[in-house]
Structure 1
Amino acid sequence: MKKLFLTFSAAIVVAFAAQAQTEKGKVILGGSVSYDYSKVKDADTESQAFGIQPTVGFFVSDNFAIGTGIGYGYEENTATAGATFEANKLSTFNVAPFARLYKGDGDFKFFGQLSVPMAWGTAKSEDTDLGTTARYGVELAPGFAYFPTSKIGIELSVRGLYYQNSSIKPEGSDDKVSSNSFGLNANSLAPRLGVQFYF
């Protein structure tokens, strides 16, 4: 009887701890850091990109959080010896407000996140300003979270459904060059893996 009572008590504590992670009034902290590098041997070019974006969210009701990410991104495409074009650099200030809904009980919960990623920055060739850039998008990303403790969530998600508008306004001109992209990226072979902290 004592074993049954202890097992039952432990199950209640685990269930309560899992529920408490996504209850109203809690805070979720996370973010992303990325670095990409590529080199095209025959074209004598290389590119690198760096980004950092911490995020914070608040549970306005049980299993529903709203928040934002604020960060910085940098991209550089450079020409090595023998190439025919100059270096291009892009630095951006990024903001990504989001709303996230969790479903499920226990240590595993599914979630859907709707975010609105935006970025504003400058494009340069060496030390010459080429113009200003802007990106606006919408993204619906599904995923699931595993809670090994009451304060840590390990997440696996895919980019999902997305739309993005990118534009550049050349220096000294009122005209903008813009492009639109839309897609569904549910590649299970290249998921996003992350860790969030719940307080």
Structure 2
Amino acid sequence: MKKLLLSLVAVAAITFGANAQTEKGKIILGGNVGFNSTKVDGAAKADVNFSVVPSVGFFVGNNFAVGTGVGYNYNKSVSTRNQNEAFEVAPFGRYYVNLTDQFKFFGQLSVPLAFGTVKDVNTTGDTGAKLGTTTSIGVNVAPGFAFFPNKKVGIEFSVNGLGYENFTTKAENTGAKVKTNSFGLDANTFAPKLGVQFYF
């Protein structure tokens, strides 16, 4: 009887340890930061891409979190002669499945929304007049794995997965709109995302 009781306590402790990071009431903090600079021979200045989108989520149930990311994207290209700046909001839902004590599989559904402006860039790389506004609405489903070296930190490996985007540009002078719809699968295992999330 004593051995059975000790066995049940051990199993309960292992189960609790596996769910401690993703149990109901916990908070997840993370996000992404990106920077890229490309200089074309003969161009006056380099093309620059920058983004920062911190995110926060709350576990509304065991292994299920909802939250949002809020951030900023900047893209200036001398070669295409335009500059895009956008404010981004990206609500998400994420569900975890326990594989072992320290490894979990997760699937994330997000709805990124971005609202920005387009400006002219001249041949010397200087920003000029506003050309229009942009609106982007998307849906992404992304799978991934999380490794928990301790109860507060999760190291994640994920791919983009399945996505849809509706991108609209509205011209400043005429009000004319150009809409682009894209849908595709981008599960490129040769270009994965690696990230860190914090659990409280």
Shorter chain as normaliser: what TM range?
0.7 to 0.9
2:102 pairs with 81, 99, 107, which one? Answer: 107
Question: Is the Cα–Cα contact under 8 Å of residues 18 and 147 in structure 1 kept in the other structure?
Answer: no
Mapping of 1:27-176 within 5 angstroms?
Answer: 27-41=27-41, 46-79=46-79, 87-104=81-98, 105-125=100-120, 126-176=127-177
Structure 1: gaps (5+ residues): 1-5, 80-84
Number of residues paired by the alignment? 188
Runs of 4+ in 1 over 3 A off after TM superposition: 8-15, 39-46
Alignment-mate amino acid for residue 122 of structure 1:
T
Alignment-mate amino acid for residue 95 of structure 1:
V
Structure 2: gaps (5+ residues): 1-5, 121-126
Taking the aligned partners of 2:82 and 2:177, their CA distance within structure 1 comes to 18
Cα RMSD for the two superposed structures: 2.3
Question: Is the Cα–Cα contact under 8 Å of residues 43 and 78 in structure 2 kept in the other structure?
Answer: no
Q: Could you state the TM-score of these two structures normalised by the residue count of structure 2? A: 0.86
Q: Give identity over the alignment, percent.
A: 53
Q: How far did 1:178 drift?
A: 1.4
Q: Could you state the TM-score of these two structures normalised by the residue count of structure 1? A: 0.86
